[in-house]
Amino acid sequence: MKELTLDLDIPQQPEEAAQPAAEETQPQVTALEEGQVVDYITDKAIKETPKEKVRQRVARALVHEHGIDPHDMARDFAVTVSEEGATRKRSKKADIAIFESGLPHTTANLRRVVVCKPEPKRGKNVVKLREPKQARNDLAELEELMGNEDRPQCVDGMWTDGVDFFFLKKVVRDFGAIFEDRSDWEIAEGTLGSRTVASHQRLRQADPDMLKIAFRRCHNYIHGNEGMPKDAAFWQFLYLLFAKMYDERVTGGTGRGRFRTGLKDMFAEDGRAAISARVRELFEDVKREYKDVFKPTDEITLSDRALAFIVSELAPYDLTGTDVDAKGIAYQELVGINLRGDRGQYFTPRGAVNLMVEILDPQEDETVLDPTCGTGGFLQATLKHLRHTWKKEAGTFGFPDTKEEKDRYGDRLKAYADEYLIGADFDPFLVRATTMAIMTLAQTTGNVFHMDSLAFPHGHLAGVELANKKIPLGETVDVLLTNPPFGADIPVSDESVLSEFRNGLAKSWGRNKETGEIEASLTSTPASMAPEQLFIQRAIEWVKPGGRIGIVLPNGILSNPGPTDEAIRQYILRHCWVLASVELPVETFIVDANVNILTSLLFLKRKTRQEVQNFDLRTEKPYPVFMAVAEKVGFDRRGNELYKREPNGDIVVETTVKMERLRIRGKEVTRPLKRVKPVIDNDLPVIAEKYREFRAKYPVPGVNLREAAGAGK
């Protein structure tokens, strides 16, 4: 085989589809100094402080979730406030001020104000969330900015430190103004949606950062306020998340189902009781609908107060219509924190997952299997990849979905997950977690089997019988993606499992003293083997001829000189075409999985029987293999983001254009929003692009069975 090395030191391309943007009046940022960030409101370089991090998250959410035009916002807007009981007045600044759409930024046009504070340091502890009555001193500052009857038009306020979020509604009456606690902002004048108590705002698509915060707040509220351990809190949250998704499905995402709350309900005892009654009844329906996922003994054990809090956090979101990537990121982060194994074996870093799916490029009619699915990262990434593919084919990538597109893509994802998306795991808790993840993204539970994939097609666990019908070895699987558990400290020693591999890799390997060739011992067999060694054979056996494999492996298998590792490499070359090998830096798994090990991503295509014979007869022709070494994956060992830099050390920035639904003069319009952001120093997206260029020049080796099948019709 011929190795092809590639120069990866090229600028990263923006992910968003480039569209013409409106003229910007502010000078464009060309680079950032250390400690600077680009302000989302003004597009200017500013100092990044702990408070600024919170303000930037909120500003992005106001655009992406609420559709507020950033041109209708201002930072550090000064308003005049009165000293209580005195005639003297002074100036105070709102961290974010929001004005009537399209009107000048004056106090008369001020409609909403936001106060931002630095996020509290939490260390390893959960920060206990506060009730509004516990934050009266903080809310007094917000009330000052909103004003009394002197500013009747400024009616909504938010106070946040990135952990706590408080909302106030100002109601002006004959005797003065009062401030009421609310769970969210009301729908704005002139926008779409019902103004009933049951649906106080339209369901909104989630900003990825804010959805992560909402998920974390729900989990932390249960853990910190209900006295539950982290794992129990996690499952209670997942029960409610599943109920939310089910409610959206049966009601069509109208926001008028049972998983709802009025703006004041969570602050009144009778309101909380009503929410609790609705949601508990809803969960009973969920259990009846999904008998394979839930047991009759599963129950919501939260207090009415906790239930009301979580419903108020999740109810405003249209999780069905929210981008699958945003939901996947939020879900995976929460699941990874709670279900990660001692050595991170349940969790594959998102960057590696995305690269593997991009390179193997699963199609809508192809069966995808992850036999060690863990928390479902590969399956979620496959759904995201398909949806992005459809958007690109339609020429709408980078544009928000219309209602018709949401429904159509949702139906296609559901149909795909029902028929072609398959996972399996030995851990029943992970099977449940992955099933819930698929439900979150595709509105169906998919096909996730509880079984030991190394023991397959045998085994005693509940999913084996169904899996034998759905994915028999070598017959139906087109794409297999997996990060198998690996390491000498978790060996496979069960002879009933090892016996399945005695015809392949489960042998005692050595070198012939005369020829130096690798050969198996005729007198002994190993009593145990590392699981990743066996999973290589199982992956090859599982895909049908022409099927593609992406597998995470420790570097030793691909480079160690020992006879066992060399025998594995020979086995791979005999049975597969090697499509690509990508070496990852150690940071990849240190940050996301807490594993300090060098790994590579190996991509294979299973040979036909004739192609294996050609290899044995040494008539196989040489072919090029794509090889790359990733030096940067976007973050350092501590998880801090890495940015591309100019020769003088300044951070490189890029201008991106994304189509957003914005609120312009009371009406929703779709228009390009141009913003500047730092360029993440990540080789993985570049490698994916270079692989596509490589394949345009060098077709995939071996017989194209899809073309052959088409020609035979």
Structure tokens at 467: 């899996």
Contacts with 245 (C-beta within 8 Å, 6 or more apart), sequence order:
319, 320, 439, 440, 443
Average pLDDT, integer, range 75-102: 84
Extents of the domains making up the chain = 48-193, 210-314, 324-638+686-711
Burial of 361 from C-beta contacts in 10 A (0-12 / 13-18 / 19+): middle
- Pairwise CA distance, residues 646 & 666, whole Å: 43
- In sequence order, what E strands does 476-598 have? 477-482, 509-511, 518-520, 543-554, 576-583
CB 215 within 8 A of CB 334: yes
Distances (CA, A) of 582 to 4, 116, 356, 551, 578: 12, 43, 10, 11, 12
Strand pairing class (421-425; 447-450): parallel
Higher-scoring residue by pLDDT: 11, 380? 380
pLDDT of residue 672: 86
Structure tokens at 367: 């069966």
CB 555 within 8 A of CB 355: no
- In sequence order, what E strands does 416-474 have? 421-425, 447-450
- Pairwise CA distance, residues 406 & 51, whole Å: 36
- Pairwise CA distance, residues 161 & 114, whole Å: 11
- Pairwise CA distance, residues 373 & 451, whole Å: 11
Reported as a single tens digit per residue, the pLDDT across 605-624 is 999 999 999 999 999 999 99
Q: Which of 57, 62, 24 is nearest to 43 (CA)?
A: 24
User: What burial letters (b/e) apply to 233-266, b meaning 16+ CB within 10 Å?
Assistant: bbbbbbbbbbbbbbbbbeeebbbebbbbbbbebb
- Pairwise CA distance, residues 214 & 61, whole Å: 12
Q: Which of 484, 236, 206, 231 is nearest to 328 (CA)?
A: 206
pLDDT of residue 198: 35
Torsion over CA: 95, 101, 106, 110 (sign): negative
Q: Any idea what DSSP says for residue 399?
A: S
pLDDT band, residue 15 (cuts 50/70/90): very low
Helix (H, G, I), strand (E, B) or coil at 657: strand
Reported as a single tens digit per residue, the pLDDT across 337-361 is 666 654 445 578 889 999 999 999 9
- Pairwise CA distance, residues 434 & 383, whole Å: 13
CB 549 within 8 A of CB 357: no
Contacts with 558 (C-beta within 8 Å, 6 or more apart), sequence order:
565, 569, 581, 600, 602
pLDDT of residue 485: 87
Reported as a single tens digit per residue, the pLDDT across 320-339 is 878 777 888 788 777 766 66
Distances (CA, A) of 269 to 266, 305, 307: 8, 8, 12
pLDDT of residue 123: 60
Helix (H, G, I), strand (E, B) or coil at 112: strand
CB 373 within 8 A of CB 452: no
Element housing 294 (H / E): none
User: Which amino acid would we find at residue 395?
Assistant: G
Helix (H, G, I), strand (E, B) or coil at 685: helix
Average pLDDT, integer, range 91-111: 94
Max mean pLDDT among 293-297, 598-602, 658-662 falls in 598-602
Q: What is the mean pLDDT of the chain?
A: 86
Higher-scoring residue by pLDDT: 21, 530? 530
User: Which amino acid would we find at residue 486?
Assistant: F
Reported as a single tens digit per residue, the pLDDT across 251-290 is 876 667 899 888 888 888 999 999 999 999 999 999 999 8
Reported as a single tens digit per residue, the pLDDT across 366-376 is 999 999 998 89
Quickly count: other Cβ atoms within 10 Å of residue 33's Cβ: 11
- Pairwise CA distance, residues 222 & 234, whole Å: 8
pLDDT of residue 336: 66
Q: Any idea what DSSP says for residue 628?
A: E
Q: Any idea what DSSP says for residue 184?
A: S
pLDDT of residue 187: 61
Reported as a single tens digit per residue, the pLDDT across 21-39 is 344 445 577 789 988 999 9
Q: Which of 312, 301, 218, 303 is nearest to 265 (CA)?
A: 312
Please identify which residue in the block is written with the tokens 């680009």.
Answer: 38
- Pairwise CA distance, residues 610 & 303, whole Å: 64
- Pairwise CA distance, residues 50 & 56, whole Å: 10
Count the alpha carbons within 13 Å of 172 in the hemisphere toward its beta carbon: 11
Structure tokens at 159: 């106070």
Structure tokens at 291: 């008998």
User: Which amino acid would we find at residue 616?
Assistant: D
- Pairwise CA distance, residues 236 & 222, whole Å: 8
Contacts with 499 (C-beta within 8 Å, 6 or more apart), sequence order:
506
User: Which amino acid would we find at residue 360?
Assistant: L
Quickly count: other Cβ atoms within 10 Å of residue 32's Cβ: 23
Residue 12 has pLDDT above 50, yes or no: no
Helix (H, G, I), strand (E, B) or coil at 78: strand
- Pairwise CA distance, residues 428 & 449, whole Å: 9
User: Which amino acid would we find at residue 627?
Assistant: M
Strand pairing class (45-47; 36-38): antiparallel
Helix (H, G, I), strand (E, B) or coil at 693: helix
Distances (CA, A) of 37 to 46, 146, 656, 680: 5, 28, 15, 13
- Pairwise CA distance, residues 535 & 486, whole Å: 9
- Pairwise CA distance, residues 94 & 55, whole Å: 11
Max mean pLDDT among 417-421, 425-429, 666-670, 675-679 falls in 417-421
- Pairwise CA distance, residues 163 & 497, whole Å: 48
Max mean pLDDT among 227-231, 339-343, 393-397 falls in 393-397
Torsion over CA: 26, 31, 36, 39 (sign): positive
Q: Which top CATH class is 324-638+686-711?
A: alpha beta
Cα 533 versus chain centre, distance:
29
Residue 196 has pLDDT above 90, yes or no: no
pLDDT of residue 391: 92
Angle between helix 230-251 and helix 324-339 axes, rounded to 10 deg: 160
Reported as a single tens digit per residue, the pLDDT across 198-208 is 334 467 888 88
pLDDT of residue 203: 76
